[in-house]
Amino acid sequence: MPKIIFVNPDGSEKEVEAANGLSILEVAHKNEIDLEGACEGSLACSTCHIVVDDEWFDELEEPTEEEEDMLDLAFGLQETSRLGCQIIMSDDLDGIKVHVPAETRNIG
């Protein structure tokens, strides 16, 4: 089973197993990672904003226009920002490292 390494705002890391087909947001919730996801993955907010480690960013599929629109609302947007609800786990992403921002912005 692939693994995700979540980096918390304080710098601590938590490695968890992630079943194929689940989003990073779903994996975070199953493992008590503090990633909000106010719209429950319906691509209607930016509260599951994560920052993907540089080495993994190019391995991901390109974000959709809808995801890019929501990312524009994210607090602390960075070059490798993505929405956790839009990254679906697979064996190809085994070991992906993502950073959970300290704050979110929920406009809704």
Structural domains of the chain in order of their starting residue, each with its CATH number = 3-99 (3.10.20.30)
pTM comes to 0.93
- pLDDT band at residue 105, thresholds of 50, 70 and 90? low
Per-residue model confidence as pLDDT tens digits over 10-30: 999 999 999 999 999 999 999
Q: Using an 8 Å Cβ cutoff, are 98 and 84 in contact?
A: yes
Number of H helices, E strands in the chain: 3, 5
* pLDDT score, position 47: 93
Query: Which residues sit opposite 51 in a β-bridge?
Result: 81, 99
CB-based contacts of 51, cutoff 8 Å, min separation 6 = 76, 78, 80, 81, 82, 98, 99, 101
* pLDDT score, position 102: 84
Q: Is the pLDDT of residue 108 over 50?
A: no
Per-residue model confidence as pLDDT tens digits over 35-90: 999 999 999 999 999 999 999 999 999 999 999 999 999 988 999 999 999 999 99
* pLDDT score, position 106: 52
Q: Is the pLDDT of residue 31 over 80?
A: yes
